[in-house]
Structure 1
């Protein structure tokens, strides 16, 4: 029996808090805003980084971050992942002795989009990466977009958050959200590593921009397809073309653009038969002021 998908829990009181506001008409209202809290990651005895995160799935975030930064090697044996909620610390322990003291300085990974890490190390990790030639049905793309865009989420409840979804066929498997889009990706990478899940037959969907770092992380996770509602950066497109990753953006209703790896697409759906997305499709409900779009 297939495992049930991991989906956002917008009702988790730990992830948002109510605040009072006054709208443009001078009317008082209460909205919910996303929490962000520091989480310090250790690899064995060494402090690696402090990340600002919403605080869910800290073990996945730690393992995924270390794997995507090349500090946790593919053949490393993880002996323990220990989370202390009171101290807001995760320690990942491995059989291999690790020492990244010369490479790292103490840093904070902010809730913005900067990852605060050595970009060159991620690029080096792409050497020798070969992505599988997996077909992507356009019917699955349309089905996934509809399922993801209408799923309950913190995005719809409070806004100010990024989402990333690991998919297989037309089914979302793991849907992670966080204040930084790279945190959401790293949570999925950590889930894959701890569950022994391959990326060969998967698609990664993100609500954020398709940047160079998003492309690199997707390839390092062994996933051949990256898709988004949002747009592209030139370097993201260039790297995707260089490594043979299928890059699909601006997925809205009937429309999408593929800027790399179009040979994987199996066009088995008539775009004209797909309901177009209404302008207000992703506007949130009571938490927003009238007419506000997230």
Structure 2
């Protein structure tokens, strides 16, 4: 696969994101193991501290902007005045041209099932059903098979270190923006931030994740107005319920020839023969073992 297919993809050679430590293996032999780094990153909006996230440390500006968007603290009509990363303070400071009642929003807090402690603030659930998703969008099953193969054979931090999730913004059969992080919610937020800062429309897009299809993943995908969400892993009941409520197409357990659709199946165009699809190579199957982390 050509790297040019991706606008952004993980760099497994970026040694800022992992370290090598000594250990022993199952035979008692001394080994060196690469392990992922975790760093705190504090996000501020208009001078107010919002949250300290645990992240691998890449793309902090995208993470900050995407997080604020997916919490509805930053809205499409708002103007971004500035986004400044302070590496020494491990902080990103975002300034917008709108006043938000942040105290009221942050008083409504829901901890989600996301790893590294996901949180949803404010009235997102109250506004959830009003977010418009493209009812005319279609998703071809041949695109699904092509995306699975391209994404799961791409170089990644997971294949170097493990202990990490991946998310990908896609268009038809092309993976566009591939982000990884210790929490899948961070990887989603980085993509949301990238889309906002680079002016990428959700129209015609789909979203791929290696993690579970939880309520949090569904809420974030709907907030981004992306109508199709795909995962290698399985579903939670509330995730399926919310997807059906929002009109989101929800495809899970997408491995090799197989997948399962539990919401929005009317968007699918059945133009691939599962019998002709490739089974996953062993390396990709090992990668899938993280999906329920």
**TM-score if structure 2 supplies the norm length?**
0.91
Q: Which runs of 4+ in 1 moved over 6 A?
A: 107-111
Q: CA deviation at 1:109?
A: 11
Seen in structure 2, the aligned counterparts of structure 1 residues 281 and 94 have a Cα distance that, compared at 3 Å, is: closer
Q: Is the 8 A contact 2:129 2:246 kept in 1?
A: no
For 1:98 and 1:51, the matched residues in 2 are separated by 21
- Equivalent position of 1:20 in the other structure: 22
Match of residue 200 from structure 1: 203
What is the CA–CA distance in structure 1 between the aligned matches of 2:46 and 2:161, rounded to whole Å? 36
For residues 21 and 114 of structure 2, what CA distance do their matches in structure 1 show? 20
* Structure 1 residue aligned with 2:74: 72
Q: For the Cα contact (< 8 Å) 1:111–1:179, is it kept in 2?
A: no
Whichever structure has more helix as a proportion of its residues is 2
Report the CA distance between 1:198 and its aligned residue.
Answer: 1.3
Residue 113 of structure 1: CA displacement? 4.5
Aligned to 2:261: 258
Q: Deviations over 1:46-99 (max 9, x none)?
A: 010000000000000000000110111221100110001111110011112344
- Following superposition, the deviation at residue 115 of structure 1 comes to 1.3
The answer on whether the counterparts of 1:247 and 1:258 sit within 8 Å (CA) in structure 2 is yes
1:154 offset after TM fit, Å? 0.5
Number of matched pairs: 284
3-state secondary structure, aligned to 2:42: strand
Alignment of 1:101-140 (within 5 A): 101-104=103-106, 112-118=115-121, 121-132=123-134, 133-140=136-143
- Alpha-carbon distance change, 102 to 125 in structure 1, aligned in 2, over 3 angstroms: closer
2:42·2:49 contact (CA, 8 Å) conserved in 1? yes
Q: Give the aligned partner of residue 239 of structure 1.
A: 242
Which stretches in structure 1 are left out of the alignment for 5+ residues? 285-292
Query: RMSD of the TM alignment (CA)?
Result: 2.2
Structure 2 counterpart of 1:170:
173
Question: Does residue 156 in structure 1 map to residue 159 in structure 2?
Answer: yes
From 257, 270, 274, give the equivalent of 1:271: 274
Contact 2:5 2:175 in 1 (8 A): no
Q: 1:193, CA displacement in angstroms?
A: 1.1
Please report the TM-score for the alignment, with normalisation by the length of structure 1: 0.91
Shift of 1:277: 2.0
Secondary structure of the residue aligned to 2:130 is coil
**After alignment, is 122-131 or 132-141 more displaced?**
122-131
What CA distance in whole angstroms lies between the structure 2 residues aligned with 1:202 and 1:255?
22
* Cα distance in structure 1, aligned partners of 2:113 and 2:262: 30
| CA–CA distance in structure 2, aligned partners of residues 161 and 75 of structure 1 | 33
CA contact (8 A) 1:49 1:109 kept: no
Equivalent in 81, 89, 92 of residue 90 of structure 1: 92
CA contact (8 A) 1:228 1:251 kept: yes
Distance in 2 of aligned mates of 1:17 and 1:217: 31
